[in-house]
Structure 1
Amino acid sequence: MTLTRSIARLTVGLAGVALLSAAFSAQARELSVSTVLSDAFPWGQAAEKWAELVEERSGGELTLRVYPNSQLVSGDQTREFSAMRSGLIDAAVGSTINWSPQVPELNLFSLPFFIPDEAAVDAVTGGEAGELVFEAIESRGVMPLAWGENGFRQVSNSRGAISQPADLDGLKIRVVGSPLFQDTFSALGADPTQMSWTDAQPALTTGAVDGQENPLSVFDVARIDQVGQVHLTLWNYMNDPLIFAVNQQVWQSLNEEQQALLRETAIEAGEWEIAMTREEESERLAAIQERGVTVTELTDEQYQAFVDATQSVYEKWTPRIGEDVVNAAQSAIDAR
């Protein structure tokens, strides 16, 4: 009788363990994270860092699976925000440029020659303007958690140095699919041509397109100089912050501890990636120059000439972005 009871108790105990294990498995959750670039680039590394921190601190209860190269939107990075908002993507580390068609306030960072330096970027994202931008994202069904950085975008071409607006006259420049980019390069006398990067590479190689614009990290890792881009101008004409975000329904389905974990790790990953991106700038520039690229740095007077040449773009786009957002950003820049 005693043996029978012991076996029964052991059976009940094992069943309890099995139930607890099943309950834990049911609680464990994996979220998909979309990003445009792989971990060869700081952008992709930011997403991987986020996933790494979540895995370390959640005890397996919550994991992030990163899908680079816009896999979840069949390579169309401009669909990323819509896909996240609709729930096809759980989370993303995305670009203000790519998300701006759905969130007009994000065009703030693409206003030409508006945000001049890193201190200004930090003042904008860390102040009232940054809060207003996050509110705009949240109002469209996505919960923003933290900032990252793709960096200032610089311009390159195959024909000659660019140090004044007249140097862009007639140059065919590949741009991303944003009307604001079209307006900016048109105002500078260039011929902006919208195309995917896949199409741009052969076009640059053959000379069908003269130039392009990208951050130094992308220029360096993608070896853009190898497609004829041997003249690079550092003009900081716009900055592209990254945003860590989660679909709002997914966010609301998480408990408070999980939400706190996602937010804290996103902030930490973002700060890590911003510091890394900035620290690597000088090293990347040196590597680019060693490969034979001629680098032009603008004087204050030359920079101002570009500001003046694009004033009409600023005036056209400020109402579309929201004057309250632009004014808050301007105040933060002035007070930095």
Structure 2
Amino acid sequence: MTKKALTALTLTMALAGTASAQQVIFGHGAAPGNPRDVAAMEWAEIFAGCADGATVNVAGSATMGDDVEMLTSASAGIIQVTANSQGPMSQIVPEIGLLGLPFLFPDLPTAWEVMDGEVGQMLDERAQAAGLKILGFWDNGIRHISHMTKNVPEPADLAGMNIRTPPGQMAIDIFTALGASPAPLSFSELPTALQSGVFDGQENPLTNIYSSKIHEITKFITLTGHMYEATPVVAGLSWWSGLDEATQTCALEATAGAGETQRQLSLEAEESLRATMEAEGVTFVEADRDAYIAATASVYDKYAASYPDLVEALRAAVAQ
């Protein structure tokens, strides 16, 4: 276990040791001011207001460990809730990675509508089988590529590029199909890895790039829109199952209410941050979208063979 992970585990156990049934630890990995952080604070306020006598400790900036560690802690009952990430969660619930099929969603509102419907219910059933309860889906944006020294408007521009991806097989498969050399790394370690030259670039939604100051390191951003990623808000199933119906309803209402704020902030950032970052020295270009779509078609073939029902449900929901 790494020193950071050990420190996080010690902190979670200390908090859990003083917690009663009405004390909740809500962990996430985002920086202060990120829409995920803002929404977590709102979640805490709503939940404390409708769950009689409850208090919520919001622990952001990966102080409870990285996303995978927080999911493990939620499953074990050490923390209760985490606003997590699609890639890391797909290591536990592989089906959730299907939300990241390349170029699946044309825009953010379409993704939200799909996740709030039958597809979201199907994913929750699979999560519960793994000891986790999905309270709802917040947003983690449509992802773009940033590079240290150049833009990458054509798939051929990625040949041999060492690119950081989130933990999760979907992103690795996408960038392998594009001819890059992808490697997963937790988001909290990304700035240091970029500065040390481990990677040529990375991919993230503009909100994450800006709030973590990655645009100051990788000053070339290509607007690929290659992949959507959700922020599943996840509770440990043992904690969830021990709640009475009224408190479960409260947790769901807090997730939905804070999620409206989070999604709106994410949408606004997607629309406004390009101008902000250009003023700070970032060079943007549009990708050849048709070329990228053609280059990643094989990814659909792989996942349709493994998860035909969910891939078909996703395609049908988007088409509607």
Question: Per the shorter chain, which TM-score range?
Answer: 0.7 to 0.9
Instruction: Identify the match of residue 312 of structure 1 among 289, 298, 301.
Output: 298
Residue of structure 2 equivalent to 1:147: 137
1:99 is aligned to 2:89: yes
* Cα offset, 1:126, TM superposition: 2.4
Out of 20, 26, 32, the residue aligned to residue 25 of structure 2 is 32
Structure 1 residue 217: Cα displacement? 0.8
Letter paired with 1:215: P
1:6 match? none
- Paired residues for 1:216-227 under 5 Å: 216-227=206-217
Look up the match of 1:8: none
Distance 1:246 1:67 in 2: 15
* 1:310 to 1:262, Cα distance in 2 relative to 1, 3 A: same
Q: Give the TM-score of the pair, scaled to structure 2.
A: 0.87
Q: What is the deviation of 1:27?
A: 8.2
Q: How does 1:61-210 map to 2 (within 5 A)?
A: 61-72=53-64, 75-197=65-187, 199-210=189-200
CA distance in 1, matches of 2:254, 2:269: 22
Residue equivalent to 2:310: 325
2:278 pairs with 1:285: no
Tell me if 1:276 matches 2:276. no
Unmatched 5+ stretches in structure 1? 1-25
Question: What's the offset of the Cα at 1:198?
Answer: 5.3
Q: Any idea what SS the aligned residue of 1:160 has?
A: coil
- SS in structure 1 opposite 2:229? strand
How far apart, in 1, do the equivalents of 2:168 and 2:114 lie? Answer: 22
Tell me whether 1:255 sits opposite 2:244 in the alignment: yes
- The 3 A distance-change label for structure 1 pair 267 and 305 is same
**Alpha-carbon separation, structure 1, partners of 2:185 and 2:237:** 31
Q: Percent identity?
A: 30
Other-structure match for 2:42: 49
1:176-220 per-position Cα deviation (integer Å, ceiling 9, x unaligned): 222332221121111213334455434423544211111111111
Summarize deviations over 1:110-150 as a string: whole Å, max 9, x none.
22222232233023212222221122112222222222111
1:267 aligned to 2:256? yes
Q: Are 2:277 and 1:295 aligned?
A: no
Mark the runs of 5 or more structure 2 residues left unpaired by the alignment: 1-18
Deviates more, 1:111-120 or 1:101-110: 111-120
How many residue pairs are counted as aligned between the two chains?
A: 302
Q: What is the letter of the counterpart of residue 264 of structure 1?
A: E
Number of the residue aligned with 2:5: none
Partners of 1:250 and 1:161 in 2: CA distance? 46
Give CA deviations for 1:259-303 in whole Å, capped at 9, x if unaligned.
1111111111111210121123222221111111111123xxx21
